[in-house]
Amino acid sequence: MSFERKLSWLIWVLALPLAVAGQKEQLIHFSNPSFEDIPKAGEAPNGWYDCGKADETPPDVQPGQFSVTKTPSHGNTYLGLVVRDNETWEGVAQRLSRPLERDQCYEFSMDICRSELYLSTSKLTGKEANYVTPAKLRVYGGNGYCSKLELLYETAVVTNSRWLSHTFRLHPKNGNYSFILFEAYYKTPVLFPYNGNILVDNASPIKQIVCGPEKMPEAKTSPPLAVTSKAPPTSSKKSKTETQPKKQDPPKT
């Protein structure tokens, strides 16, 4: 190996830890990353903006709504998202503390699973349905609430009914994004819409990472470290299309 190549290699080895350390200091923080709020139906958690269809109800702060009783993986509450058999689905968004930059690579984790029970009324049939068919979680970057300028990541359909920590790796290619959106979506290709749910909890800060030479590594799932709280009692079964009095759980259509 020539002296010049040895010197270049040595400089790279010495510079890499400094670059990684600099990236760790520039974390992108979520507001309310554990989706903490008073458990309630049809209202997004504090710090998160509802991105569902205008004539449908927002996501739920769980547990305790629509027969969902799963214990949070972190804190006291978590986010419940559904997809519906009338071709509508739920999502939430927020402004990031710092933009995701084009051609940079990022990583964060969230705990995700599905509930074995998510009882509500189907808008198509008018009968009670269990919103339990596995769905996937999509992550979009944008420059406004509910903006979908680029699909940055999507999971496989979430079949696990216990909390798993999922690693999300993002690589914006079309621009810089100041907003992020999480939404539930159907298994693709979509043969027909169905009723399903995804539960989301315990989002970590987003950290910048070194991009791979060819492609980003595949995401892996692992169990979260610990369960930190107990679930409150579930509320009585209420239709996601039922009209409720003011200050009570809103309908979920």
Residue 108 falls inside a structural domain? yes
Residue 174 falls inside a structural domain? yes
Number of domains in the chain: 1
Residue 93 falls inside a structural domain? yes
Structural domain of 99: 27-222
The pLDDT, as a whole number, for residue 9 is: 66
The amino acid occupying position 207 is K
In angstroms, rounded to a whole number, what is the distance separating the alpha carbons of residues 223 and 111?
8
Q: Which long-range contacts (CB under 8 A, 24 or more apart) does 87-90 make?
A: 87/193, 88/52, 88/53, 88/56, 88/253, 89/52, 89/135, 89/183, 89/184, 89/185, 89/186, 90/50, 90/51, 90/52, 90/56, 90/58, 90/59, 90/183, 90/184
Residue 83 falls inside a structural domain? yes
The amino acid occupying position 5 is R
Element at 166 (helix H, strand E): strand 164-170
User: Would you write out the chain's pLDDT as a tens digit for each of its 253 residues?
Assistant: 666 666 666 666 566 655 555 545 589 999 999 999 999 999 999 999 999 998 899 999 999 999 999 999 999 999 999 999 999 999 999 999 999 999 999 999 999 999 999 999 898 888 999 999 999 999 999 999 999 999 999 999 999 999 999 999 999 999 999 999 999 999 999 889 999 999 999 999 999 999 976 544 454 555 555 444 444 454 443 444 443 444 444 455 4
Residue 238 falls inside a structural domain? no
Residue 241 falls inside a structural domain? no
Residue 168's closest CA among 223, 212, 214, 112?
112
Residue 245 falls inside a structural domain? no
CATH for 114: 2.60.120.260
